[in-house]
Structure 1
Amino acid sequence: MATTKHHEAVRANTTTRTHDLDVREGAHMEDVVRNPVARWALVVLRFVLGFTFLWPFLDKLFGLGYGTPAENAWIDGGSPTTGFLTKNPAVVEGPFGDFFANFAGGFWDYLFMGGLLGIGVAVLLGAGMKIAAWSGTLLMALMYLAEFPIGRDGEGFTNPIFDSHWIEALALIVLAYTFSGDKLGLGRWWSRIVGEDSFLR
């Protein structure tokens, strides 16, 4: 009896270690997210967040009239970064206003717009999620610092520390490391090309 229990314990321990190894090396969404409702929620979050990055790219490119008037469209000579970094009181009057003013216009327009497009498309397609997650986190951190400190008089913030930039950055990381691109996305196919443990996944 003792021998049987010992063998069962060894098998259970081996199975646990094997499962942990599988999850760590070459995991897919169903390996790390067991609940089907949670998986679908992450897929919906992926589409919502992806469009959250793609939409400002389109608005600034064509001047669709939401955040960017038609006359300020990038295709008509407008600058996607100049208005926010040099005319937004939350940035100009902040402690880092002079620093961020150096990143307005020119090359930075291309970098900013390329970032919005790349992050948005990667998240929507579910491929290249890790790069998109960390690039998006860097972008959110810079935008947060540009308006730092939040919660100043007249800005309409209800929280003196955290804002939507934190939520979006953390959501990107969660989506990337739960392999949410595997469901209704190209994540599984892309992982076979770049490698399941690759940073390019």
Structure 2
Amino acid sequence: MATIGRRNITQLETVEAPGAMLTPIAARLLAVLRIATGFVFLWAFLDKTFGLGYSTAAERAWLNGGSPTKGFLSSIDVGPFAGFFTSIAGAAWADWLFMLGLLGIGVALILGIGLRVAAAAAGLMMAFMWIAEWPPAQTTNSGEPTRSSNPVVDYHVIYGLSAAVVALTYAGHTWGLGRWWAGLPIVQKNRWLI
């Protein structure tokens, strides 16, 4: 056991430099953030696929012929890209890309593997969704209130930042498969896969 200032440090704690310490409690909280954020993405995939009755009714489920993007994108009525987003609403390629993104991001975050790729994908997906909803607008093109509660930072920004934080802090190493994943030969050769 070492002593730093008045604090005893056990061998289980890692001290790299002042201000750069990740305590065991912090590592666990980051793991909880990783799993919770992953569950947000995975739940959206499951609800849209099976129509669990939360945001997607059973008759609009993807498995029942519904479109995961049509409801959201066809209702876009604000912002400089509204026309683009409504034009791709319900397109098969958009549905598949969106659903594979939700599934891949959710599984990667929950398992703690491929966090850099998952964070980049989550950031991109959340940026597109933020642009589609266009939170800076107070009213839609038809004059209705948008119900935007913050013109800059909304849940899309928070989810994207959460994915980046857990990737950059190796949160997959705690309560996840991150250490095993990082030791795979293909990941060792391609560090961006961590």
Indicate the TM-score class for this superposition, using the shorter chain for normalisation.
0.7 to 0.9
For residue 198 of structure 1, what is the amino acid of its counterpart? R
* Alignment partner of 1:140 is 2:140: no
Q: Secondary structure at the match of 2:191?
A: coil
Q: Which one has a bigger Cα radius of gyration?
A: 1
Name the CA distance, whole Å, in 2 between partners of 1:135 and 1:45.
17
2:178 alignment counterpart: 187
For structure 2, which runs of at least 5 residues remain unmatched after alignment? Answer: 1-13, 140-144
1:195, CA displacement in angstroms? 1.5
* Alignment partner of 1:119 is 2:105: yes
Distance 1:30 1:119, change over 3 A: farther
Name the CA distance, whole Å, in 2 between partners of 1:123 and 1:97.
30
- Maintained 8 Å contact 2:34/2:166: yes
- Maintained 8 Å contact 1:123/1:129: yes
Q: Secondary structure at the match of 1:102?
A: helix
For residue 169 of structure 2, what is the amino acid of its counterpart? T
Name the CA distance, whole Å, in 1 between partners of 2:119 and 2:64.
31
- 1:65 aligned residue (47, 53, 61): 53
1:100, CA displacement in angstroms? 1.2
- 2:26 aligned residue (21, 24, 38): 38
Please give the per-residue CA displacement for 1:161-201, whole angstroms capped at 9, x wherever unaligned: 21111111111111001000001111000001112871111
TM-score (norm 2): 0.82
- Maintained 8 Å contact 2:135/2:150: no
* Alignment partner of 1:102 is 2:90: no
For residue 146 of structure 1, what is the amino acid of its counterpart? A
For structure 1, which runs of at least 5 residues remain unmatched after alignment? Answer: 1-28
For residue 156 of structure 1, what is the amino acid of its counterpart? R
Aligned residues: CA RMSD: 1.9
Flag the structure with higher helix content: 1
Name the CA distance, whole Å, in 2 between partners of 1:170 and 1:36.
22
1:93, CA displacement in angstroms? 3.2
The number of residues matched between the two structures is 170
1:143, CA displacement in angstroms? 0.2
- Maintained 8 Å contact 2:82/2:132: yes
- Maintained 8 Å contact 2:61/2:67: yes
For residue 100 of structure 1, what is the amino acid of its counterpart? F
- Maintained 8 Å contact 2:39/2:110: yes
1:175 alignment counterpart: 166
1:46, CA displacement in angstroms? 0.8
